[in-house]
Structure 1
Amino acid sequence: MNASPSQPHPAEWPETQELLATEERGLPAGRHDFHKEHLMARIHDDLRTDTTPGTPSAPAPARQRNPFLRRTILLPAAACAVTGAAVAGFALTGGGDGGDGKTPLATGPALTTHIGTADAKGASQLLNRISLAAADTSGPTVRDGQYIYVASKVASTFPKTVDDKTTIVSQELHPRQVWQSPDGKDGWLIERGETGDKGITLASSVPMSAAYNTLAKLPTDPDGLLKKIYQDVDKNRDKEVPRDQAAFVAIGDLLSESYPPAELVPTLYKVAAKIPGVVAVDDAVDATGRHGVAVARLNEQDGQREEWIFDKKTLALLGERTVQVKAVPGAGDDALKPGTIASTSAITQRAVVDGIKQTPSGSQAG
């Protein structure tokens, strides 16, 4: 939808090039494989079914996490991600192996990264370019009976306690597949190491307010959408999470593990530009090792920065990650050190398919 084919792509504008002209930095030695990860950010509930203290595979009981609860922040009802989250009315019911047949994921040294330079003044310009690029991209219309399919690569970092000794470890990079009906009532999740090979049902007794059908009815003017997001944040967020951070995280989750209507996506980026504290970051790496620029916001309470990572040339969304950028005063020995990646993701495929557990190639998953 460019006004003229001869006009340069937004990613090629001079202002954008100034931001993108940062030299790509290599990953720390010995950590390349571990820097390929995905977003399951800030999972503060159960991570494993096996929680027997003292066993090699059991994490610290006090810091258990649930891979289906991606965040402690309750996402806004109008903008929460269409994910395997139990927020906004989802009920997780066992499917396939019911979790009994899952193989625990291997863990290794904590994922670390170079902390990119934040530029508060550059955020508005970058988001404007990203919004224009998104407006130049078409998206599918989802019909009743079809499913939104999102595939990604993910990993997260957490404290693990064995024999009273706690260390910070990261999961191996692993695949995640989500299917969601447009009305939000039906879905499926397959995540290796977490759900078993066949996956689990994502069932809801009421329509998801973040479902595709509802998102299609949201306002596409930035001020109206921002007002709606803040209203829902105030109703649903964890009160320990700053209001602006909750709004930023909610938009990021929607962008990364959903498939919003094409006309809504540019508005979401314009809304993000209106949230105080949002910055541009000169260099960030997604779960599969792709370098890009990022739009980010720091949560001053926990010292973690939420980063949305975009391709430097096309400005297409690559993925998300959460990076510990500041030490938290008074934090315990199991706190993440600056430079640690708390969670990370890379979007590998998004599509509309004709059946649950069906992939874009037509094959059946699970």
Structure 2
Amino acid sequence: MNETELSPRGFEEQLLRDLTAHVAQRAEVVSVARPARRRTRLLGGWRLAGAFGLAVTLTVGALAVQTMRVGEQPPPTASASEIFRLAADAARQQPELTARPDQYVFTESLATFRELPASGPYRTIRNQLWQSAGGIAYTQGRYRPETDPNGWSELRVLRIDDPDDPEKELDAFQPPAYHGDLPTDPDELFRYLREHPVDLHLSEGADEEAVYGDESMAYTTARSMLRGYVPPRTLAALFEVLARQPGAVVISGDVVDAAGRHGVAIRMPGVIGGNMDLIFDRDSHVYLGTRGSVIRDGKESLYDAVAVLRIAIVDRPGQVP
């Protein structure tokens, strides 16, 4: 399989296109003057998802057959806020990794996905990702089919692309992947997230004022942090922040990720054209990752799943702990 076949555009890529179209249409309706285009890339790149993103959920077989109608799930036994607070308690118990700005956050994951439109077969690949801890170098990654232990691709640089010109790569480094200097108090962290939103790389014509000024933007930024490494106390504060997000709900029923771990899913609000769920271990409530789905003709179909296997700090791209 070649890179074109294996590298998905990513569930979040499609949602971002939907969001861009939505806010562009809103801009035409309300005629809000668009401020200068943002180029700061704090707390994680929204568009660096796809095959090298972080997510979690069902096994390949379950993905291939599971389709559910919206609203058919039985009521959950715990609220989203309760699950997030249990996840915060679990985060505080985790060992802390430290990193210098010149080091890299190494992440290994299993990704099961299907190309858009979501009608083709599912594919599963193993990813290894090296993100600059200090945001001073490009992210690099490689992958292989899960069925081929010796089928690793060449290590390659991953750049953010321009939504206005998909063939154009933005000439900028990735955001820091190590979030070691952020507030550990939930109130202070929430204020920080409001003041330092993640860059969504919106297309020209999008109503940036409406998007970045929306009260839910802080929660979007918080979720983007989960793509890198967040130390235990800050991670606990982040989950406490997410516990406050209105509209988050627990999806009833067991969720099994690509690594066979049983989890509980929290569905986050504000996604256009589909759903994005955060996944936590059903027993320990340790954060596992995310899953994405699309909605068509009133039916919800799982689109992608990535099980995060391990995270470490290393000195250079290509180094495996």
Question: Shorter chain as normaliser: what TM range?
Answer: 0.5 to 0.7
In the alignment, structure 1 segments of 5+ residues that lack a partner are 1-37, 46-73, 87-108, 161-166, 328-334, 361-366
Cα offset for 1:349?
Answer: 1.3
**In the alignment, does 2:120 pair up with 1:150?**
no
Cα offset for 1:182?
Answer: 1.6
**In the alignment, does 2:73 pair up with 1:127?**
no
Partner of 1:216: 180
Alignment of 1:5-16 (within 5 A): none
**In the alignment, does 2:231 pair up with 1:261?**
yes
Alignment of 1:333-344 (within 5 A): 335=296, 338-344=299-305
Give CA deviations for 1:185-223 in whole Å, capped at 9, x if unaligned. Answer: 223111347x971131146966654432xx222222212
Partner of 1:93: none
Partner of 2:156: 200
Could you tell me how far apart the structure 2 residues matched to 1:83 and 1:43 are? 6
Partner of 1:279: 249
**In the alignment, does 2:268 pair up with 1:297?**
yes
- Which one has the bigger helix percentage? 2
- Tell me: CA distance 1:307–1:317, structure 2 relative to 1, closer, same or farther (3 Å): same
- Tell me: CA distance 1:252–1:234, structure 2 relative to 1, closer, same or farther (3 Å): closer
**In the alignment, does 2:169 pair up with 1:169?**
no
Partner of 1:64: none
**In the alignment, does 2:197 pair up with 1:225?**
no
Cα offset for 1:44?
Answer: 3.0
Moved more, 244-253 or 169-178: 244-253
Could you tell me how far apart the structure 2 residues matched to 1:289 and 1:173 are? 14
Moved more, 130-139 or 184-193: 184-193
% identical aligned pairs: 24
Partner of 2:44: 80
Moved more, 135-144 or 246-255: 246-255
Letter of the structure 2 residue corresponding to residue 179 of structure 1: W
| Aligned partner of residue 285 in structure 2, secondary structure | coil
Cα offset for 1:274?
Answer: 1.7
Give CA deviations for 1:327-347 in whole Å, capped at 9, x if unaligned. Answer: 5xxxxxxx4762311222110
Cα offset for 1:236?
Answer: 4.2
Could you tell me how far apart the structure 1 residues matched to 2:48 and 2:11 are? 13
Letter of the structure 1 residue corresponding to residue 299 of structure 2: P
Which residue of the other structure, out of 66, 79, 95, is the alignment partner of 1:112? 66
Could you tell me how far apart the structure 2 residues matched to 1:248 and 1:159 are? 26
Letter of the structure 1 residue corresponding to residue 106 of structure 2: Y
Q: What TM-score do you get using the length of structure 1 for normalisation?
A: 0.58
**Two-structure CA RMSD over aligned residues (Å):** 3.8
Cα offset for 1:251?
Answer: 2.8
Cα offset for 1:85?
Answer: 5.6
Contact 2:111 2:125 (C-alpha < 8 Å) held by counterparts: yes
Contact 1:185 1:208 (C-alpha < 8 Å) held by counterparts: yes
In the alignment, structure 2 segments of 5+ residues that lack a partner are 1-7, 16-37, 51-62, 146-150, 160-169
Give CA deviations for 1:25-53 in whole Å, capped at 9, x if unaligned. Answer: xxxxxxxxxxxxx99423239xxxxxxxx
Could you tell me how far apart the structure 1 residues matched to 2:265 and 2:110 are? 18
Aligned length: 253
Partner of 1:43: 13
- Tell me: CA distance 1:315–1:76, structure 2 relative to 1, closer, same or farther (3 Å): farther
Cα offset for 1:183?
Answer: 1.3
Contact 2:265 2:279 (C-alpha < 8 Å) held by counterparts: yes
Cα offset for 1:352?
Answer: 1.3
Could you tell me how far apart the structure 1 residues matched to 2:272 and 2:156 are? 34
Cα offset for 1:180?
Answer: 1.7
Could you tell me how far apart the structure 1 residues matched to 2:245 and 2:195 are? 14
Letter of the structure 2 residue corresponding to residue 211 of structure 1: A
Which residue of the other structure, out of 258, 276, 293, is the alignment partner of 1:306? 276
Alignment of 1:315-326 (within 5 A): 315-324=285-294
Could you tell me how far apart the structure 2 residues matched to 1:318 and 1:124 are? 17
Give CA deviations for 1:57-77 in whole Å, capped at 9, x if unaligned. Answer: xxxxxxxxxxxxxxxxx9994
Could you tell me how far apart the structure 1 residues matched to 2:262 and 2:76 are? 17
Which residue of the other structure, out of 118, 135, 139, is the alignment partner of 1:184? 135
Which residue of the other structure, out of 206, 223, 230, is the alignment partner of 1:252? 223
Letter of the structure 2 residue corresponding to residue 319 of structure 1: G
Give the greater-gyration-radius structure (CA): 1
